[in-house]
Amino acid sequence: MTIYYDYHIHCDNSPDCHESLDSMCLAACEKGMKEIMFTDHFEFYSTPNRSKIFTMEYLDKCFKRISEARNRYGNDIFIGYGVEFGQPHLQLKEAECILSDYPFDLVLASVHKIDDKELKLLDCRDTANQSLLDRYLDNVYEMVCSCDFDVLAHIDLVKRYFCSAGHSIRIEERPEMVDKILSKLAERKKGLEINTSGLRQGVKEALPGKNIVARFFELGGRIVTFGSDAHVKEDIGADFSAVSDFVPDDYELVSFRKRNISN
């Protein structure tokens, strides 16, 4: 299967990305992508109103710029207006308000932080620090149970940081919890993302690996999206050929429009 939809990319709307929206769009066209989804970050915190970055003005700016890009490139490629919510379970009301105010095509849900601290800043060096794995998974499960979203992004992001600390800790070590998360996704008809960014980083694995995707289908999951998590134009669609066999042979790519599957 050729994957020509990249459903997780960033541009210079996101505070951690410096590649311009235009160069991302042009590169995606050059690579023959048919659909791209800009999923710029919006982070939530346990202490409300903490962020000076993630505001309504920020969302307005993102929407305006994506609309302009659609006018420029819309004949050549579908440019999706998405968002990557980080920890939306921490501010459920605020997340709900945002979803009612903006016409997103796709909402990704991610856990990037525990106790408002970036995963990469938490201490993953101590192998005895298994509680970090449990706390991460507890957060993912709570988010998957309580939030409004469409696709769970990089379910095992934490392995990237365990790996860079020299450990091979995987969420597969908690099969019951992984099953609870995947079953809840399937029950709520939410999608699971196959995020290829791990293949370009130290961990050298997709987020998640093939076994977790297979388990998702076993548990009744049906919706999978592919995302490069590109923050630079070169990474758009990167390593999609390495994960195309993660889904059954007869799997058909899904398109999202206004948070509904359109095919």
Q: Which residues bind Zn ion (CB under 5 A)?
A: 84, 110, 229
By beta-carbon proximity to Zn ion, the closer residue of 175 and 181 is 181
Q: At its nearest, how many Å lie between Zn ion and the CB of residue 245?
A: 23
Q: How far apart are CA 108 and CA 153, in angstroms?
A: 6
By beta-carbon proximity to Zn ion, the closer residue of 116 and 219 is 116
8-state DSSP, 220: T
Closest CA to 44 of 148, 150, 130: 148
Q: At its nearest, how many Å lie between Zn ion and the CB of residue 188?
A: 20
Q: Which residue is nearest to Zn ion (CB)?
A: 110
Q: At its nearest, how many Å lie between Zn ion and the CB of residue 62?
A: 14
Q: At its nearest, how many Å lie between Zn ion and the CB of residue 19?
A: 13
Closest CA to 152 of 96, 221, 211, 94: 221
Q: At its nearest, how many Å lie between Zn ion and the CB of residue 64?
A: 21
By beta-carbon proximity to Zn ion, the closer residue of 219 and 259 is 259
Q: How far apart are CA 119 and CA 26, in angstroms?
A: 32
By beta-carbon proximity to Zn ion, the closer residue of 119 and 219 is 119
Tokens, residue 234 = 């070169």
By beta-carbon proximity to Zn ion, the closer residue of 84 and 239 is 84
Q: At its nearest, how many Å lie between Zn ion and the CB of residue 75?
A: 27
In this structure, are residues 215 and 184 in contact, taking their beta carbons and an 8 Å threshold? no
Non-local (6+) Cβ contacts of 200 within 8 A are: 235, 238, 239
- Lookup result for tokens 């399937």: 186
By beta-carbon proximity to Zn ion, the closer residue of 40 and 215 is 40
Instruction: Please state the separation of Cα 107 from the chain's center in Å.
Output: 9
Q: Where are the alpha helices (DSSP H) in 196-251?
A: 210-218, 240-243
